[in-house]
Amino acid sequence: MTLETKPKKCIQPGCSFNSTGICMDGNMEECQFLRLVELPEDESEPEVAIPESTTHIIPSGDDLQENELSTITYQFKSNLVVLIGEPECGKSTLYAALLDRFHKGPIGDFNFAGCLTPIAFEKRAHYARLKSKSKSSDNERTKSFEFSYLHLEVRHRSLLFKSQHLLFADINGEKFQRANDADDEMSTLGILRYASHIFVLANGSTLLHNSNRHALKANIISTIERALQNQLLVGKERLNLVITKWDKIDAANEIEKINSFFIQPLKERFPTLFGEILFIASRSLNPNVKWGEGLDVFLDKCLSQGNPKQVTTKVIEEHEIVREFQRFKYHD
Amino acid sequence: MGDYKRHFLLLGLPATGKTSFLAALYYYLTSNLPDRKFIEYKKSANTAYLNKIMNLWSKCEEIDRTVTQIDSSNKEVLLHLEDVDTKTRFELQVPDIAGEHFVAQFTNRLWEKEYKHEVEKASGIALFLNPSKIRNHVLLDDTQIDDDDFEEVEELEPFKIEEVPTQIMLVDILNYHYVHQNKSPIPLSLVISAWDEVESENIAPLDWLQYNLPLLYQYLISNPEKFTLRVFGVSAQGGKIKDDDLEKERLASMDEPGERFIVRDGNNINKNICAPLQWLIAQ
C-alpha cells in the first residue's frame, strides 16, 4: 500500500472528518491536523492513538477566510455582497456602521438576528468609538490583499420569513487600484462573478474637491470597463452606485454639482449597468444628517434577489460536496 | 412521585448577580416564607457552600469569590426540590460559574470539554444582566465634543477583545450555547438583576431590554426557533448594599430577609424569587 492510498484521521478537536470525510478547514491538502494512518500488515482496522483534548474550540468570530465560508454556506443560502472602491472610500466604515446601527435598533424592517464574525465587525468599528481616543470618526482600514468575509444574519420584523444570511467581502482598496492597471490583477477579482450584489463606492468627500474628483471619476470608469472586459460582470443586471460620506455633501450643499459631474456621466457611459443611486452617511458630524442614513436602503438592496441568487454549498451525495461558491477559485 | 433531574445553566458576565440569586434562592427554599412554590425536601450535598453564600446574603454582605474561597472553576450545585402544589420531586442542577469564565469563553474561543457536557445536558438557561455593568459603545459621532476638547494623546487605544460591548459578547455566548445544547427552542429566562435600581422607571423588564440592549433584544425576538424567552427583573438584595451604609443597614435589619426580594414579571411585582427558575421548570 502506498502512502497516498492509506486512510487519514483528523486530530483537530471539533472536526467531523473522521465520520463525514469533510475537512473543517475546507482544504484537505494543506490541513495540518490530518494524519496518515499506518495500517498493520493484515490491513485490519487500524488503532490510532488520538490524544484526548480537554478543550473544545469555538469559531474565532473574526474575519472568515474563503476556505471557512462553507461553514456558513453549508447550512444557509447566503447573499454575497462585494463593495468596489478605492482606499478610504468607506467600505470598512459602511460594514462597521451596519452593526453599529443595529446596536441602536432595527434597520428599516429588519432586526439583527445573528453574526458569526462579531469580532471582525468590532475591530472595524473601533476607531470610530470614543474609547479608542481617536479624534476623528475613523475606522480600521482593511489591510489584507486577499478577500476576507463578514457574516450577518437579519430577519424581517414580522417574523413571517426565515432569517437571511449575508456575506460581505472585504479587501484593501489598493487591490482595486491595481486591478485598474492590469488584466492580470483584475482577473484575481473572480469573486465578482459570484456576488449576488456589487456596489461601486465613490467617496463623496473626494467628489467635492476639484483637485481629486477627476481622478476618482476616471478610476471608477476604468475599473468598470476592465471588469467588463474580463467578463466579471456577465449576467449582472445592475450595479449599485453608492455615494459615501453623504453628510459632507449635504453640508456643502453640492448635490447638484455631484450629479452633473459624476452621476449623470456615469449613467450615460454605462446606460444599462446602474440601478438606483444610494447616498450613505455611515458616520456623520453634520447635525442635519444622522449617522447611518442610507443604511436601510443599502440593507434592502443586499437582501434583495441578486444574480446569482445565492451562494451555497450543496451535498450531492454522501461524502461528495460541491462548494459552488468556491468554484471560482479553481476554475478561473 | 418519581424523581427526575432538571439541569439549568446560569450564565452571566462578572458581577451580574448569579451567586446572590442562588443565595437568595436557597434562603427561599429553606425558610418558612409563606406561599413558597418549591421547598427543599432533601439536604443538598452542597449545603456548606450554599449556607456560606446564604449567610453573606442575609447580612447584606457582598458575595465575593475571594471571601467564599472558591476558585474560578465550576461550582456544581445540586438541589432536591419539591413542587408544593403538585408534590412533584426533582433534582435541580445549577453549576455556579464565575462570570470571568464566560468572558474567557468569548476572548479565548475555547470551552472546557467538561463545560460542553454541561451545556449538552441543559434543559434551560438563566441569563443574568446587571444594568449598572453594561458596557455600551459610544460613537464619536454621538458625542458633541469639539476637537479642542480632546486631550492630546500620544497613542490611540488599540482594540481589545475583552472590551467589546456587552450586547456583542452576550449574543455570541448565547449563540454557541444554543449550538451545543440539545433542545430547540431552549427556554431562556433572562434575569435583569439589581432591579431595585431600575424599578423607579416603572418599566416592564422586556421593555427595559428593548430600550437598553436593543441588539440583544432583536437577536432574541428574531430567533423564536432557538429561544423561548421570558424576561424578569429581580433584586435579590432589595436595595443598594454597596457604597450606601444606611440602605445596607436598613435591609440587614429587616425581620424577614425574604421581604427584601423584588421580582418583576411583566407588570406584576411580587416576592417570588424563584420565578425565573419556576418558569424554566414549567417549559
A73-97 pLDDT tens trace: 888 889 999 998 888 888 889 999 9
| Most confident listed range (A60-64, A181-185, B144-148, B200-204) | A60-64
- CA nearest to A118 within chain B: B168
Interface residue of A102, A130, A137 to substitute, partner B, most B CBs within 10 Å: A130
What's the whole-number mean pLDDT along residues A197-226?
A: 92
User: What band does A111 get if pLDDT is binned at 50, 70 and 90?
Assistant: very high
More confident residue, A288 or A177: A288
Q: Please determine, for residue A183, whether its predicted confidence score (pLDDT) is greater than 70.
A: yes
Per-residue pLDDT tens digits for B169-186: 999 999 999 999 888 899
Domain spans of chain B, in order of start: 4-136+157-282
Per-residue pLDDT tens digits for B79-128: 898 989 888 888 888 878 888 989 999 999 999 888 898 899 899 999 99
B109 → closest Cβ in A57, A136, A155: A57
- Lowest pLDDT segment from A29-38, B9-18, B28-37: A29-38
Q: How far apart are CA B31 and CA B29, in angstroms?
A: 6
Q: How far apart are CA B280 and CA B283, in angstroms?
A: 5
B243-269 per-residue burial string, b: 16 or more CB within 10 A, e: under 16: eeeebbeebeeeeebbebbbbbbeeee
Contacting residues of B for A131, CB less than 8 Å apart: 137-138, 157, 163
Residue type, B265: D
Per-residue pLDDT tens digits for B208-235: 999 999 999 999 999 999 999 999 999 9
A233-253 per-residue burial string, b: 16 or more CB within 10 A, e: under 16: beebeebbbbbbbbbbbbbbe
Contacting residues of B for A60, CB less than 8 Å apart: 109
Domains of chain A listed by start with CATH number: 1-58 (no CATH), 66-303 (3.40.50.300)
A326 Cβ neighbours under 8 A, 6+ residues apart: A26, A66, A67, A69, A70, A313
Per-residue pLDDT tens digits for B229-238: 999 999 988 8
DSSP 8-state code for residue B128? E
B108 Cβ neighbours under 8 A, 6+ residues apart: none
CB atoms within 10 A of CB A168: 24
Q: Is B144 on the interface with A (CB under 8 A)?
A: no
Answer yes or no: are the C-beta atoms of A100 and B137 closer than 8 Å.
Answer: yes
CA–chain centroid gap for B187, Å, is 14
Report CA-CA distances (Å) from A187 to A142, A179, A180, A182, B138: 21, 8, 11, 9, 41
CB atoms within 10 A of CB A109: 14
Q: How far apart are CA A30 and CA A26, in angstroms?
A: 9
B143 → closest Cβ in A58, A130, A155: A130
Q: How far apart are CA A91 and CA A85, in angstroms?
A: 7
* Per-residue model confidence (pLDDT) at position A75: 85
Q: How far apart are CA B273 and CA B83, in angstroms?
A: 15
Answer yes or no: are the C-beta atoms of A87 and A177 closer than 8 Å.
Answer: yes
Instruction: Report the C-alpha dihedral over residues A179, A185, A191, A194, rounded to 10 degrees.
Output: 80
Map residue A83 onto helix, strand or coil. Answer: strand
Which ipTM was obtained for this model?
Answer: 0.90
- CA nearest to A114 within chain B: B219
Contacting residues of B for A130, CB less than 8 Å apart: 138-140, 143
* Per-residue model confidence (pLDDT) at position B69: 47
Contacting residues of A for B116, CB less than 8 Å apart: 56
Kind of pairing, strands A239-244 and A274-279?
parallel
Q: Please determine, for residue A145, whether its predicted confidence score (pLDDT) is greater than 80.
A: no
* Per-residue model confidence (pLDDT) at position B93: 81
**Cell reading at B154:** 500620544
B113 → closest Cβ in A56, A114, A123: A56
* Per-residue model confidence (pLDDT) at position A122: 94
The domain defined by B4-136+157-282 carries CATH number 3.30.420.40? no
**Cell reading at B79:** 438541589
* Percentage, residues of chain A above pLDDT 90: 40
- Lowest pLDDT segment from A139-153, A183-197, B209-223, B264-278: A139-153
Contacts 24+ apart (CB under 8 A), A323-332: A323/A26, A323/A70, A323/A73, A324/A73, A325/A69, A325/A70, A325/A73, A325/A80, A325/A194, A326/A26, A326/A66, A326/A67, A326/A69, A326/A70, A327/A194, A328/A190, A328/A191, A328/A193, A328/A194, A329/A66, A329/A190, A332/A187, A332/A190
Q: Please determine, for residue A101, whether its predicted confidence score (pLDDT) is greater than 90.
A: yes
Please confirm whether the linkage preceding A46 is cis (ω < 30° from 0).
Answer: no
Q: Do B141 and A283 touch (CB under 8 A)?
A: yes
In total, chain B counts a number of residues equal to 283
* Percentage, residues of chain B above pLDDT 90: 48
Q: Please determine, for residue B152, whether its predicted confidence score (pLDDT) is greater than 60.
A: no
**Cell reading at A231:** 467578463
**Cell reading at B211:** 430600550
* Per-residue model confidence (pLDDT) at position A146: 81
- CA nearest to A291 within chain B: B141
Per-residue pLDDT tens digits for A266-291: 999 998 888 889 999 998 888 899 99
Q: How far apart are CA A263 and CA A269, in angstroms?
A: 10
Q: Is B116 on the interface with A (CB under 8 A)?
A: yes
Q: Do A102 and B136 touch (CB under 8 A)?
A: no
Residue type, A324: E
**For residue A153, what are the β-bridge partners?**
A114, A165
d(CA B242, nearest CA chain A) in Å: 27
Residue type, A28: M
| Mean pLDDT, all residues of chain A | 80
**Cell reading at A220:** 471608477
* Per-residue model confidence (pLDDT) at position B66: 41
Report CA-CA distances (Å) from B63 to B78, B114, B236, B263: 19, 25, 12, 20
Q: Do B214 and A132 touch (CB under 8 A)?
A: no
